[in-house]
């Protein structure tokens, strides 16, 4: 009896020791993610961009990327950037075994053209901008909370309140070259600003005159800088092959992580085309064939 009791006690002690080690590793992982999030957010807020590799977070796997993103959304510093306001899709083929990667958006960088007369103005220096992308965006009108089974494309689309033609303005919190794909993705997937152009109500009932999900399939967009066409592409290049499939992927990927999309959040579905061929004080027009155009002006 004493031998059995001693053996059970040994097993319990070993299990407790393993749980302690696991908890310590989890705590360390969370602290590392919080430190990385604080570094990136502080650089954004202060506009003192990270200039040396020693200052930049160490990132070696996709789980660290998402841990940093999650820590950024929960950080008190996020409120200085307008708070967590949505997600962006991208990184197609950037990480082996991953369909794509999502990044986080903050409110300060989301600009609504309805609040501007003429071209919506965005500062290159404020966001350390380097690129422009044509994107389809979705504003959520309903929550999509985490649940045991995933969401279908139709279920996700039914939660959309508005479809928005967008210009994503990509930027970084650093001035470094030679970063790995994972290190670049940890930095909000290079998310910085989004200019929201024309809006459309989605079709949820036959005959309601809304924009149907199928109308976004194969949608062509072109970016013009000071009147010159710089690039063109179609939504077939979006993650998962279409804007709505990309949105559903985002919802389900969050779902697996115990997270969800919330009403009022914006999700941009991935680049239709992109360019970095622009300078300050140039007018930007992004034309979405058959639907309209979004406009912006880049200032210093």
For residue range 176-206, list pLDDT tens digits in order: 999 999 999 999 999 999 999 999 999 998 8
- In this predicted structure, the answer to whether residue 57 has a pLDDT above a threshold of 70 is yes
Task: State the average pLDDT over residues 52-76.
Answer: 95
| Higher pLDDT, residue 94 or 81 | 81
Per-chain mean pLDDT for the chain: 91
- In this predicted structure, the answer to whether residue 135 has a pLDDT above a threshold of 60 is yes
Task: State the average pLDDT over residues 108-118.
Answer: 91
pLDDT of residue 37: 97
Percent of the chain with pLDDT over 90: 82
- In this predicted structure, the answer to whether residue 26 has a pLDDT above a threshold of 70 is no
What are the distances in angstroms from CA 266 to CA 26, 31, 184, 299? 30, 28, 22, 24
Predicted confidence band of residue 4 (pLDDT cuts 50, 70, 90):
low
pLDDT of residue 28: 36
Task: State the average pLDDT over residues 15-35.
Answer: 52
- In this predicted structure, the answer to whether residue 9 has a pLDDT above a threshold of 80 is no
Spell out the SS3 assignment of 107-166.
HHHEEEHHHCCCCEEEEHHHHCEEEEEEEEEEEECCCECCCCCCCCHHHHHHCEEEEEEE
pLDDT of residue 206: 84
Predicted confidence band of residue 27 (pLDDT cuts 50, 70, 90):
very low
Task: State the average pLDDT over residues 43-60.
Answer: 95
| Higher pLDDT, residue 229 or 95 | 229
For residue range 261-276, list pLDDT tens digits in order: 999 999 999 999 999 9
pLDDT of residue 116: 87
- In this predicted structure, the answer to whether residue 118 has a pLDDT above a threshold of 90 is no
Predicted confidence band of residue 224 (pLDDT cuts 50, 70, 90):
very high
Percent of the chain with pLDDT over 70: 90
pTM of structure:
0.88
């Amino acid at each position: 009896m004493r031998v059995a009791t001693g053996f059970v006690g040994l097993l319990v002690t070993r299990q407790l020791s393993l749980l302690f080690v696991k908890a310590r590793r989890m705590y360390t992982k969370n602290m590392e993610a919080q430190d990385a999030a604080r570094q990136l957010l502080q650089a954004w807020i202060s506009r003192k961009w990270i200039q040396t590799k020693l200052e930049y977070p160490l990132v070696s796997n996709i789980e660290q990327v998402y841990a940093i993103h999650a820590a950024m959304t929960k950080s008190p510093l996020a409120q200085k950037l307008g708070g967590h306001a949505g997600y962006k899709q991208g990184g197609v083929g950037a990480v082996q075994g991953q369909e794509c990667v999502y990044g986080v958006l903050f409110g300060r960088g989301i600009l609504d053209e309805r609040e501007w007369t003429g071209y919506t103005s965005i500062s290159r220096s404020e966001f350390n901008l380097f690129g422009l992308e044509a994107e389809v965006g979705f504003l959520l009108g309903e929550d999509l909370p985490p649940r045991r089974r995933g969401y279908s494309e139709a279920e996700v689309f039914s939660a959309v309140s508005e479809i928005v033609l967008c210009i994503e303005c990509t930027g970084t919190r650093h001035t470094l070259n030679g970063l790995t794909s994972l290190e670049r993705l940890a930095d909000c997937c290079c998310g910085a600003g989004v200019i929201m152009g024309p809006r459309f109500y989605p079709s949820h009932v036959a005959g309601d005159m809304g924009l149907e999900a199928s109308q976004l399939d194969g949608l062509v967009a072109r970016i013009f800088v000071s009147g010159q066409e710089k690039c063109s592409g179609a939504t077939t290049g979006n993650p998962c092959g279409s804007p709505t499939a990309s949105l559903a992927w985002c919802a389900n990927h969050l779902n697996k992580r115990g997270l969800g999309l919330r009403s009022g959040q914006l999700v941009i579905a991935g680049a239709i085309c992109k360019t970095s061929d622009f300078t300050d004080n140039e007018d930007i027009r992004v034309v979405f064939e058959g639907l309209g155009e979004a406009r912006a002006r880049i200032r210093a």
